[in-house]
Structure 1
Amino acid sequence: MENLSFIQELVKSKKELNVTFLETINQEQILKTICGYLNTEGGWLVIGHSGKQPVAINNLDNNIVEKLKAEVNTKINPQPLVYIAIDDDGAGNQFILINILKGSRQPYTFSNDFYIYEGKEVKLANQDDISVMLRTSNKYTSTWEKITAIDCVLSDLNEDEIGKTINEANKMSKGETLPNNIEAFLNYFQLTDYGNIKNGAVILFANTPARFLQQCRIRISVLPEGKTGNVINDIELIEDNLFVAFKRVQDYFKRNNPLISKFDNNDWDRRTALRFPSEALDEAIVNAMVHRDYGDVSGDITINIYPDKMEVINSGEIPDDIVQRKTTIKPHHSVLRNPTIAHMFYLRGKMEKLGRGLTLISNQFIKAGYRKPEWTTQSGYTTLTLYSVAKEIKLNKRMVSFIKNYSEPMFTRKDYELFFENDISEKTARNDLSTLDEAGYISQKGKGSNTFYSRLKKQLPENTGS
Structure 2
Amino acid sequence: MAKKQYTDKELMQMAIDVMNKSINEPRPDGKVPPKVGAVLLFPDGRIETAFRGELREGDHAEFTLMERKLANENLEGCILFTTLEPCVERNPPKVPCCKRTTNARIKKVFVGIEDRDPTVDGKGIKHLEKHLVEVKMFDREFQRIIEQENKDFLKQALERKIEKEEEDLLSPIEIAIPNYDRSKLSDKALQKFIDEAKLDYKINDDHFLEYLSDFGAMEWDKDKKHFVPTGFGVLLFGNNPRAKFKNAVLKAHVTYGDEKIEPKDFDEALVLLPDQIEDWLKKVLPLAKDTSSFKRKDVPDFPTNVLREAIVNALVHRDYELAEAKCEIKIDTNKIIVTSPGKPLPAITLEELNSFEAPSLSRNPIITYVFSLMDYVEEKGFGMKTFKTLNKEYGLPIPKYTYKNPFLTLTFPRTTEAIKYVIDKGSINELNKDELKAFETFRSNKPVTKAEFVEYSDLATRTAERLIKKYVDLNLIKVQGSGKSTKYIINE
TM tier relative to shorter chain: 0.5 to 0.7
- Residue 260 of structure 1 and its aligned partner are, at CA, apart by 2.8
Rounded to whole Å, the distance in 2 between the matches of 1:18 and 1:114 is 17
Rounded to whole Å, the distance in 1 between the matches of 2:361 and 2:278 is 25
Distance change (3 Å), C-alpha of 1:301 and 1:117: same
Tell me which of 92, 97, 107 is aligned to 1:132.
97
Distance change (3 Å), C-alpha of 1:164 and 1:16: farther
Rounded to whole Å, the distance in 1 between the matches of 2:395 and 2:338 is 20
Distance change (3 Å), C-alpha of 1:378 and 1:181: same
- Mapped pair 1:188 → 2:214: yes
Distance change (3 Å), C-alpha of 1:213 and 1:430: same
Distance change (3 Å), C-alpha of 1:253 and 1:218: same
Partner of 1:324: 351
Tell me which of 279, 284, 290 is aligned to 1:251.
279
1:5-30 deviations in whole A, cap 9, x for unaligned?
xxxxxxx97337569889xxxxx969
1:347-396 deviations in whole A, cap 9, x for unaligned?
11111476362342242355211222111100121111112212375368
Deviates more, 1:211-220 or 1:118-127: 118-127
Tell me which of 185, 190, 211 is aligned to 1:157.
185
Tell me which of 11, 15, 33 is aligned to 1:113.
33
Partner of 1:372: 398
Read off the aligned partner of 1:138 and give its amino acid letter. I
Tell me which of 45, 49, 52 is aligned to 1:123.
52
The number of residue pairs the alignment matches comes to: 324
More helix by share: 2
Rounded to whole Å, the distance in 2 between the matches of 1:322 and 1:234 is 36
Tell me which of 326, 337, 353 is aligned to 1:311.
337
- Residue 245 of structure 1 and its aligned partner are, at CA, apart by 2.1
C-alpha RMSD of matched pairs (Å): 4.7
Read off the aligned partner of 1:380 and give its amino acid letter. P
- Mapped pair 1:287 → 2:282: no
1:301-332 deviations in whole A, cap 9, x for unaligned?
11111112111111011247443298433x34
1:26-60 deviations in whole A, cap 9, x for unaligned?
xx969x89x9xxxxxxxxxxxxxxxxxxxxxxxxx
Determine which structure has greater relative contact order: mean sequence separation of CA pairs < 8 Å that are 6+ residues apart, divided by chain length: 1
Q: Is contact 1:150–1:212 with CA below 8 Å preserved after alignment?
A: no
5 Å matches for 1:202-241? Answer: 202-225=234-257, 232-241=260-269
TM-score (normalised: structure 1): 0.57
Rounded to whole Å, the distance in 1 between the matches of 2:246 and 2:287 is 35
5 Å matches for 1:409-448? Answer: 409=451, 430-431=472-473, 447=480
Distance change (3 Å), C-alpha of 1:389 and 1:300: same
Rounded to whole Å, the distance in 2 between the matches of 1:305 and 1:374 is 15
- Residue 280 of structure 1 and its aligned partner are, at CA, apart by 0.7
- Residue 138 of structure 1 and its aligned partner are, at CA, apart by 3.2
TM-score (normalised: structure 2): 0.54
Identity of aligned residues (%): 20
Rounded to whole Å, the distance in 2 between the matches of 1:363 and 1:161 is 32
- Mapped pair 1:275 → 2:262: no
1:126-146 deviations in whole A, cap 9, x for unaligned?
265663266743339972430
Partner of 2:487: 452
Q: Unpaired runs of 5+ in structure 1?
A: 1-11, 23-27, 36-75, 77-108, 264-269, 401-406, 413-418, 436-443, 455-466
Q: Unpaired runs of 5+ in structure 2?
A: 1-6, 40-48, 64-86, 91-95, 99-118, 130-168, 222-226, 419-430, 440-448, 455-460
Rounded to whole Å, the distance in 2 between the matches of 1:243 and 1:363 is 26
Rounded to whole Å, the distance in 2 between the matches of 1:371 and 1:16 is 35
Q: Is contact 2:282–2:300 with CA below 8 Å preserved after alignment?
A: no
